[in-house]
Amino acid sequence: MDFFLKLFLSGTAKGSIYALIALGYTMVYGIVQLINFAHGEVYMIGGFTALIIGGLLFSSGMAVPLVLLLSILAAVVFSAAFGFTIEKLAYKPLREKPRLSALISAIGISMILQNVVLLAQTEKYLSFPSYLPELEFLRPVREYLNSTQFIILVTTAAIMVILTLTIKFTRMGKAMRATAQDKHMAQLVGVDINGVISLTFIIGSALAAVGGVLICSYMGQINYYIGFVAGIKAFVAAVLGGIGSIPGAVLGSFILGWTESLGTGYLSSDYEDAYAFVILILILILKPDGILGKNQKQKV
Amino acid sequence: MSATDPILEIDRLSMIFGGLRAIDDVSLHIREGEICALIGPNGAGKTTIFNCITGVYRPTEGRVTIRRGSGQREAIQGLKPNVINRKGLARTFQNIRLFGNMTVLENVMIGRHNALAAGVLRAIARDAATRDEEERLIDDCRRILVKMRLDPFINETARNLPYGAQRRLEIARALATDPFLLLLDEPVAGMNPHETKELEETINLIRDEEKVTILLIEHDMSLVMNVSERIYVLDYGRLIAEGTPDEIKGNPEVIKAYLGE
Amino acid sequence: MERNKLFRDLRTSLIIAAWFSFLLFPLLVMKVSVTSGAALVRFRWERLPGIAVAAFALSFAWRRALEWNEARGDKPSGAGPIAALTARARSALAVKPIRLSVSAVLLAVVAVYPFALGMYHTNIMITALIYVILALGLNIVVGLGGLLNLGYAAFFAVGAYTYGLLWKYAGPAFVAAGVDPGWLFWIALPTAGVLAAVFGALLSLPVLRLRGDYLAIITLAFGEIVRMVLQNSGAVTGGATGISLIPRPWFFGLRLPPRQAATYIYYIAVALVALTVFVVRRIEDSRVGRALEAMREDEIACEAMGVDLVRNKLVTFSLGAFWAGIAGVLLAAQTTYINPDSFTLWESITVLMAVVIGGTGSIPGAIGGALLLKLLPEYFRPLAQYRMLIYGIAMILVIIFKPDGLFPRNRKKYTFEGAPSEGGASPAADGQEARR
């Protein structure tokens, strides 16, 4: 039971990070029906930016909490900027083209970003200094839930609530939902769909950046390739929950996190990365619309 | 089993999309050699019925059965579109769905896909039988195109065809699958009166010479009244009337459905 | 008017240059290194002007290119110097003596290649030819079938491991029985092809009804699982270390020294490429090929005409896998050593890039793309480290500006060769604009 609880909690922490990345996938897919293959890379860039800016500020003698705050802020700003630029550069010109064209373009972007970081920074794993505080009140239960995991959980929960409220109640949220339903119709009633699409990429990328900083602090290391695996897993989570659905992405992420934790704990740790793929295959075969996804009928 | 035993029978068909009853308990039948029309205001569920018959949708409730020649009745609801097509039901689409980048001839060749047998191995070997088959195929397709008066366009790319010819090509392609029942979804939509008149003749010709039974959806009332022997009227997914053109013209329910209260 | 536009474009480019200088600043100008848990940052200011100038020039060119692309619209690449050149080349090749002499020259070059250039170049060419087979095979799936397969390397692995495992487990028995182990290659070749095809059919059967982008991702998952299984079942496959000392094919019972063996494998590879081209062309130009063409155009209409989509997709998937299996055996024979690292996702993506850059659906495209992607980095060594970066950029440029690739497909269209019609009505005589 002890062992189970430990695995369950670490799975929950993992799941909440996947959720931060999965939200970007699901929002983009909901609005432009594109699997944004480069989303994982945006998350990796978030991690790198935090490492660089954090390192710069820390060595200048700034106080740790301020370093943490500013490095997260920098990660969010730069990742969002990357997300925005990628959409304008590689996806917008292909919007009216067959779906697979944009997917291929996304794969290209993914390769470019990985290699830019590889060539301009390093191919080695770098250890990632964590600026997250050690929370005193968690000391008694540290074996089950450490500070980093706790912070991840709380941050994800807060972001989730804010995001849901934004999409439900603000004007922009309404515009987003309208665009997701019917792009042309939304345009006719005066929604600036280019703006909505850009905003979707910006929000998704910003969330990925927060996820990037958190997971790098948690794992304690970073390299140019981390975005790929995390990206694929988050995508799996989004599909599992029902792509296009925000609560679905969160639910899917937790299920994936738990499966991975329990699977590595009880079955085999050799296949840690394989669990996600097996889930993906099963869900696509059995229920391609995901747990909370809507059944989409093609119009004939 | 008499000759008047219907070749297509729809029995208490319902189709529900997420709580919305697009088709509600519809029953209808088509007898061999008939030309039947299915009419109704926009959104009445006509195309949805076509989609249920041809396997694009799996109906929520009800049965769709067919009888070929003097054979047994068989249920076809829920089968895949290609299987239903092989059983002898062919259709056209409301929003023309030709293979736009292929030639007119090639479009019809696809229609004859199942009349041929060559698989991958024979394609690689390209033996004498396969070559013969291909030659015969082109002749067959040409014959169909001549009948549909499309032979002047035979080598044109389908998307470059005039609109009326595109509609005719869809019918030609469907005929190439050797159906006993042809389902036409708004065959004259967007055509001028002259083209409509031509198509009317074509429809009669298909029934009389090719011995193909026809069910059509159409908004053009002159065509419907001229060609069809029986008409079904659909409104909000329900069948509200059935009868000969004259009966339908005078039916108060139908008038109400079209003109509103 | 023109002047105003130029001015506007320059101003926009200036803004974009500033934007990119900002965007790329942390990654390109700053450089981080971590020593004993603390991140140290160094500035490389000398790069900043370069970034700004490059961004300015590129953004100017990019906007012009997009405008040109839009103005060109849906028109196929009709005009332009390259298209004119291809058209001229095609019409020249239609003349029989020219075609024959071009083929003769090509054949002669291919035949003397290993003798004229030596073992080093021959080996490079073999690797390139293996990729040509892979690209031709993937082209069946992506180009003819319209299905994006991101797990193609898995079938490549099935081929290579068929030969490797056959050697590991049946090899000793062969030696004990006094039979040349060199024969194993010839047993492995068809076995691997068939196994990969069966494997492709089994894996794809449950997923073929999925939409295109989902299918792409699920094949990616399959590919990764296969690699992980190979990596983690060490007892059977040798795990991460793989299988080594795989024999090269023997020449009629004769064990060849490396140099001659390379030449021999080279000719086998050439023969297999020729066979692949032959098979792909035959399929393209058949009932199956037509159905695939129609399936890519409109799945719903195609199915309504009685074409079994699942069966067609299955056939293309297996056929593609078959050639990957064959290529895998060649790889094992050439390198005499295999491990799971040769079959990563990036391997699948590299082959995909060869197909896309060359021209999706085009046989010359697959050949040209694969040769380009494999030979260029070998002969431009300084560029080798920028390889993936350049490929990524090239792929995006092609997909946006030249979706039919560098060597576009020239599909044979079925036409009726007899007298057009008795009535003599020309297509345009209807007097109506073609609408759609």
Residues B22 and B83 in one domain: yes
Residue with the larger pLDDT of the pair A299 and A291: A291
pLDDT at C433 over 60: no
Structure confidence at residue B79 (pLDDT)? 92
Token digits of residue C211? 């939409």
Lowest mean pLDDT among A125-134, C260-269, C422-431: C422-431
pLDDT at C390 over 60: yes
Q: What proportion of chain B, given as a percentage, has pLDDT over 70?
A: 98
Last residue of a domain, one of B178, B209, B231: B178
Q: Is residue B129 part of a domain?
A: yes
Chosen for mutation from C19, C20, C218 (greatest number of chain A CBs closer than 10 Å) is C218
Residues B193 and B162 in one domain: no
Contact of C73 with chain A, judged by CB distance below 8 Å, is answered with no
pLDDT at C425 over 60: no
Lowest mean pLDDT among A189-193, A248-252, B252-256, C81-85: C81-85
State mean pLDDT over C338-347. 90
Mean of the per-residue pLDDT values of chain C: 85
Lowest mean pLDDT among B102-111, C90-99, C393-402: C90-99
Q: Is residue B133 part of a domain?
A: yes
Residues B193 and B172 in one domain: no
Structural domains in chain C? 2-68 (no CATH), 99-401 (1.10.3470)
Residues B61 and B73 in one domain: yes
Minimum CA–CA partner of A79 in chain C: C23
Report the distance separating Cα A72 and Cα C173, nearest Å: 63
pLDDT at C436 over 60: no
Residues B171 and B213 in one domain: no
pLDDT at C427 over 60: no
State mean pLDDT over C100-119. 86
Say how many CB pairs under 8 Å bridge B and C: 148
pLDDT at C385 over 90: no
- Its ipTM equals 0.90
- pLDDT band at residue A294, thresholds of 50, 70 and 90? low
- B5 contact partners, CB below 8 Å, separation of at least 6: B31, B67
**Model confidence pLDDT, tens digit, residues B134-186:** 889 999 999 999 988 898 998 889 999 998 899 999 999 999 999 999 999 99
Minimum CA–CA partner of B159 in chain C: C436
Contact A300 B17 (CB under 8 A): no
Report the distance separating Cα A147 and Cα A134, nearest Å: 6
Residues B260 and B183 in one domain: yes
Contacts of B180 in chain C (CB under 8 A): none
Residues B126 and B174 in one domain: yes
How are beta strands B35-39 and B230-235 bridged, if at all? Answer: parallel
- pLDDT band at residue C79, thresholds of 50, 70 and 90? low
- For chain B, the domain total comes to 2
Q: Is residue B95 part of a domain?
A: no
Report the distance separating Cα A123 and Cα A118, nearest Å: 5
Residue with the larger pLDDT of the pair A209 and B125: A209
State mean pLDDT over A93-113. 89
Q: Enumerate the H helices of A121-245 as residue ranges.
A: 147-169, 171-181, 183-188, 193-219, 226-241
The interface residues of chain A toward chain C in range 233-292, judged by CB-CB distance below 8 A, are 235-236, 239, 270-271, 273-274, 276-278, 280-281, 284-285, 288
Contact A300 B56 (CB under 8 A): yes
- CA-based nearest distance B112→chain A, Å: 22
pLDDT at C424 over 80: no
DSSP C324: H
Q: Are C197 and C319 in contact (CB under 8 A)?
A: yes
Contact A58 C225 (CB under 8 A): no
Q: Are C153 and C348 in contact (CB under 8 A)?
A: yes
Structure confidence at residue C432 (pLDDT)? 36
Which residue in C30, C214, C400 is closest to A94 by CB distance?
Answer: C400
Structure confidence at residue A13 (pLDDT)? 87
**Model confidence pLDDT, tens digit, residues C167-203:** 888 888 888 887 777 788 888 999 999 999 999 998 8
State mean pLDDT over C111-140. 91
Residue with the larger pLDDT of the pair C263 and C204: C263
Token digits of residue C9? 């474009």
Residue B219 lies in domain: 1-88+179-261
Structure confidence at residue A109 (pLDDT)? 94
Structure confidence at residue C431 (pLDDT)? 34
Q: Are A34 and A102 in contact (CB under 8 A)?
A: yes
Residues B43 and B53 in one domain: yes
Minimum CA–CA partner of B121 in chain C: C283
Contact of C423 with chain B, judged by CB distance below 8 Å, is answered with yes
Last residue of a domain, one of B178, B197, B218: B178
Residues B158 and B29 in one domain: no
Token digits of residue A67? 């370093």
Last residue of a domain, one of B150, B178, B206: B178
Question: Containing H/E element for C395?
Answer: helix C387-401
Contact B123 C288 (CB under 8 A): yes
Q: Is residue B93 part of a domain?
A: no
Contact B56 A295 (CB under 8 A): no
Contact of C301 with chain B, judged by CB distance below 8 Å, is answered with yes
**Model confidence pLDDT, tens digit, residues C30-72:** 888 888 777 888 888 888 899 999 999 998 888 888 888 888 7
- Helix (H/G/I), strand (E/B), else coil: A172: helix
Mean of the per-residue pLDDT values of chain B: 89
Structure confidence at residue A106 (pLDDT)? 92
Contact A297 B47 (CB under 8 A): no
Contact C294 B99 (CB under 8 A): yes
What DSSP line would sit under C196-219, residue for residue? HHHHHHHHHTTTTTS-HHHHHHHH
Residues B160 and B212 in one domain: no
Q: Are B245 and B228 in contact (CB under 8 A)?
A: yes
Residues B166 and B187 in one domain: no
Which residue in C307, C414, C433 is closest to B82 by CB distance?
Answer: C307
- pLDDT band at residue C276, thresholds of 50, 70 and 90? very high
- Helix (H/G/I), strand (E/B), else coil: A175: helix
Residues B63 and B188 in one domain: yes
Q: Is residue B39 part of a domain?
A: yes
- pLDDT band at residue C85, thresholds of 50, 70 and 90? confident
Structure confidence at residue C275 (pLDDT)? 95
How are beta strands C30-35 and C38-43 bridged, if at all? Answer: antiparallel
Q: Which CATH number characterizes residue B192's domain?
A: 3.40.50.300
Lowest mean pLDDT among A208-212, C232-236, C332-336: C232-236
pLDDT at C1 over 80: no
**Model confidence pLDDT, tens digit, residues B208-238:** 988 899 999 998 888 999 999 999 999 988 9
Structure confidence at residue C416 (pLDDT)? 76
Q: What share of chain C is helix, strand, coil (3-state, %, to 5)?
A: 75, 5, 20
Structure confidence at residue C421 (pLDDT)? 45
Contacts of C426 in chain B (CB under 8 A): 152
Contacts of B47 in chain A (CB under 8 A): 300
- pLDDT band at residue A75, thresholds of 50, 70 and 90? very high
Q: What proportion of chain C, given as a percentage, has pLDDT over 90?
A: 33
Structure confidence at residue C255 (pLDDT)? 75
Lowest mean pLDDT among C2-11, C155-164, C290-299: C2-11
First and final C-alpha spacing in chain A: 53
- pLDDT band at residue A95, thresholds of 50, 70 and 90? confident
Structure confidence at residue C74 (pLDDT)? 55
Minimum CA–CA partner of B161 in chain C: C434
What DSSP line would sit under chain B, residue for residue? --TTS-SEEEEEEEEEETTEEEEEEEEEEE-TT-EEEEE-STTSSHHHHHHHHTTSS--SEEEEEEE-TT--EEE-TT--HHHHHHTTEEE--SS----TTSBHHHHHHHHTGGG----HHHHHH--HHHHHHHHHHHHHHHHHHHHTT-GGGTTSBGGGSBHHHHHHHHHHHHHTT--SEEEEESTTTT--HHHHHHHHHHHHHHHHHH--EEEEE-S-HHHHHHH-SEEEEEETTEEEEEE-HHHHHT-HHHHHHHH--
Report the distance separating Cα B52 and Cα B60, nearest Å: 9
Q: Is residue B234 part of a domain?
A: yes
**Model confidence pLDDT, tens digit, residues A226-266:** 888 888 889 889 888 888 888 888 999 999 999 999 988 88
Q: Within 10 Å of residue C90's Cβ, how many Cβ atoms?
A: 10
- CA-based nearest distance A251→chain B, Å: 23
Which residue in C228, C386, C396 is closest to A90 by CB distance?
Answer: C396
Q: Are B209 and B188 in contact (CB under 8 A)?
A: no
- pLDDT band at residue C75, thresholds of 50, 70 and 90? low
